[in-house]
Structure 1
C-alpha cells in the first residue's frame, strides 16, 4: 500500500508501525507449523481492529483468517503493546522536560504552568459476569471501564489509570490516583493540571 492508503486502513504511519515491530520477539511462534502468522501480520490485524472499532468477523474477513485465530492474535498483540507502556507513558520528571511541556501548552493557548490535561473515557467491555457485574454498567447504559488519561499539548499520553468500573465517576478515580498524591507531595511544583467536570478538593 502507498503511505496514504496505509494510514487510512490502520490509522498509523508505516514509520510508527515499524517502531511497534519491537514487540516481534513476543509474537514470534516457537514452532513453524500450519503456516503460523508472522509478527507483522499479527500487528496489522490488531491495528485494523483498533482503527475500525469493527467486529472480529469483519477483521477476519479482511485478513483472510479464521475468527478464532484473529481473536487469539488480538489478545496476544494487545498484551505485548501494553507491556511497552513503561517505556513511553510517563509524566515529565525533570525540570527541563516539565518546562518544555509547560511551554508547549503556552504556545497553544497562552495558558501558563500547565503540565497536562486530565479526563476520563469509557472503554466498552462485555459484561464481566461474576457476583456484581452491574458495577461496570455506566450512566449511558453499557458495560465499561472508566479509564483516566493525562495528555500533553501534543496529545501524547502521559499517565493512565484503567482499573475502575464504568459506574465510577471521574473524581474518585483522580482522588485515589498516584498522580494526585504526587501533586500533593509537591513533585510538580508550580504546575497546573487541567480537568473537565472534576470537583476536586485541591487546586494544583
Structure 2
C-alpha cells in the first residue's frame, strides 16, 4: 500500500512539475512600427526652405493610450492584445510618422515633429487630436482626427478640419492591421499637405 502511495505521489509530482513548466512558458510579444511615405525620387528641394512646418502637439484618445494594439470588436466593445504591441508610445509614433509623410509630400518645406524647440520658431504648426486609430472585426483600419493649422507668426488659427479615413486590411492578422493603419496615416498626411498648399494665408509666409 505504501509503495502504491509513493508511486501515486511520484506521478502527481511529475504532473505538477510539467504543469508549472507549461504555465511558465508565455507567448512571444510582437512589436510593430508604422510605415511612412517614401519621398518621390523626382522631388527636388528648393535652395532655401519656403516654410518651417511643425507637426504637433498630437493627442490620442484615452482608449488608445496603451502599448497594446486595439481592435474594435463591436459598437461598444474593444479588444487589446497583450502580445501584439506598438514598438513606441502611439502618440509619439503617429507624430513622427506624420512628420515624415509631410516631409515627403512637401519637399520644399522643412517639417519637424513636436517638440521642435531645437529648430527655432516655426512658421506654422498643426495641432492634431486622434479620435480613432484602430482596426475593426470587419478587417478595416479606421482613422478619425480633428486638426487645426496655426500661424506661429500671428498666433492665429488659420484653418481647421476633420479627417475620417478607412482602409481595408489584406488579412485578419496584426501585421495586416498595422499596414492598413499606416495607409490611413499616409492619406491623412496627403490631406494635411493639400490644406497647407491651398491655404492662401500661408502663401504669405513664403
User: TM-score when scaled to structure 1?
Assistant: 0.23
Q: Greater share of helix residues, 1 or 2?
A: 1
More strand by share: 2
Larger Rg: 2
Taking structure 2 as the reference length, the TM-score comes to 0.23
- Structure with the bigger RCO (C-alpha within 8 Å, sep 6+) is 2
